[in-house]
Amino acid sequence: MSLLGYIGQVVSPPNGSPKVIAEPQLRFDEALACGQRIWMRGQLTDPALPRSPGATRPARWKRWRRNSAPTALPTIHVETRIGGHVLQTTVVLDRHGRFDTTLDIDLPIARRGWRLARNRVTYQDRTLEKCCILLCPPENASGAVVVILPLSCSCSPKGPQFLARSPAAAEITPILRQLRHSKDALYYLACTHPGSAVSQSELALATTMLGWPAGNVILLPAGPGECGRQVAQGLERLRWLFAGNLPLRVLNMEPSFAAALRPPEGSSREQVNVGRFINPGDDPRVLLAGDQRALARSISCLRPVRAGLVPRLPVVFCHGMLAFSTLRMQLPENSNCFSALRDFLHPRGYRALYPQVAPTGGIALRAKQLREQILRWTDEPVNLIAHSMGGLDARYMITHLGMAERVRSLTTVSTPHRGTYLVDWFLTNYRERLPLFLALEAAGFNIEGFKNCRPGACCELNAGTPDMPGVAYFSFAGEVPVARVTAPLRRAWHLLTAAEGPNDGMVSLASARWGEYLGTVHADHFAQTPDMKFIHPYETFDPLAFYCRILETLARRGF
């Protein structure tokens, strides 16, 4: 491991050129829930995992050996925490490292149609953690509709651009457009070849541009000739997920799937209704026929995608000191802790920027970097949402860097507007015994950010940085009992409680209030960030829902 673990282990091959060993990657493609059932899909990529059968073509001499034992498929242990519930299961990986699992859990109905799931995968004495969004039908959903997209749309890099020219799309578009305000959950099921450049976001945007209702895109990878089988398996999972909870109807836009996807012969009437198929070329009036609810009242979208809940102006998410992603001694590609929101917000119509500024730099330097990135990104006025020190950067930029006319609102979350006692205490008690700041400076780090968070420095900043007219200032503060504070913040929590009162382990309530106070966040300072680094094992705070509520509040106020 190199210095401080910031880069991967380097191995010199025989030719002398260095080679960086790839770090293991964990990805969750889907996490769908309905009633008491959960379906989760993902992929684990790690060169250290044993190669499974079929991953590579065996050597010729190995194919001659008839008694060679087959290689066992690797397994992983998955632990999922959802709303205080802990679920565990063991899953077998396929030859590409993909996994597919189902879980049973009794969860209350999700008002907004989604929850946050925290996952821990253990294999070969290694542990990876990854958060994902658990998508559920809205609480008022009366059914579910699955639209199977054509292969010409999902298997070609430019396929989404030509979806509008598809004959099947021409038949279904008029019907779907008039059903945008109905009450059933909508899912788009698509199959793509490995290595295809088509993403879920591109497919979601393509359907939105056609005026179709917004829904969840399920992308299933499959090789040539395997698409029909993969889509059939995915549809069986959806049948299992909704069985006994919501009636399911399927609109098939790919004629080659018609035979493979139909329910088996001899199915009962109830079973057929659960997965009823409508193929291109059928009479459109069939969509509204039958003894089930009319399909015109069967398609809905997640609430955050409605125009009334999307801010009119772009949103800029400003991260705090260290961005918290670097605390694990890693240097990620994107150090903005809000980047975890990108995959959720972008397909739902939110325009957002995730700038990266110096993790430990001073307020003036960080504010200058923030201003440059905003001006390069858009010419429109913006809304700022900032966590921790990011709020100080934003205030400095608005007042001193001529951005008052380009910013309409600033919402700060646990920002030390009046400083934090912890910095003074640390400098007083550890300047000689543990010269951390001197060591960081010797290593080339700019540590002005720590000094700018002292109460005295923040007092001077406030005196010279007045709020600007025309900019709305909002704030949230954090408060949490010590039992829910993560281990690295417990000592700080006790120190701040004695000096400044209720706090979140880093910033007190009194220091975080600024402008119009919108409420208290009952989570510690680390749990408030969407990247979910260093959280308490039993933390139930949902940062995704919290920041989406902020966006909804901005939208309702006309920002």
Output the CA angle 14-18-22, nearest 5 degrees.
115
pLDDT for residue 17 = 46
Distance CA 124, CA 103 (A): 23
Residue-range domain boundaries for the chain: 3-50+72-135, 144-302, 307-556
Pick from 52-66, 180-194, 368-382: least confident = 52-66
pTM score > 0.75 for this model?
no
Top-tier CATH class for 3-50+72-135: mainly beta
Is the separation of the CB atoms in 392 and 448 below 8 Å? no
State the Cα–Cα distance between residues 157 and 347, nearest whole angstrom: 18
Radius of gyration of the chain measured on its C-alpha atoms? 26
Give pLDDT tens digits for 527-538: 898 877 677 777
Q: What is the CATH number of domain 307-556?
A: 3.40.50.1820
Over residues 53-108, the pLDDT tens digits come to 554 444 444 444 555 555 677 889 998 888 778 888 999 988 888 899 988 887 76
Asked if the model's pLDDT at residue 465 lies above 70, the reply is yes
Least confident of 180-194, 205-219, 253-267: 253-267
- How far is C-alpha 289 from the chain's CA centre? 39
Give the angle 385-386-387 at the CA atoms, nearest 5°.
135
Q: Which amino acid is at 538?
A: Y
Summarised one tens digit per residue, pLDDT across range 111-139 is 666 777 888 899 888 888 887 888 888 77
Distance from CA of residue 546 to its chain's centroid?
Answer: 13
CA distance 456 to 423: 11
Q: 15-19, 141-145, 368-372, 397-401 — which is least confidently predicted? A: 15-19
Edge-first strand order for the sheet with 382-387 is: 352-353, 315-318, 382-387, 407-413, 472-478, 516-521
Of residues 280 and 456, more confidently modeled: 456
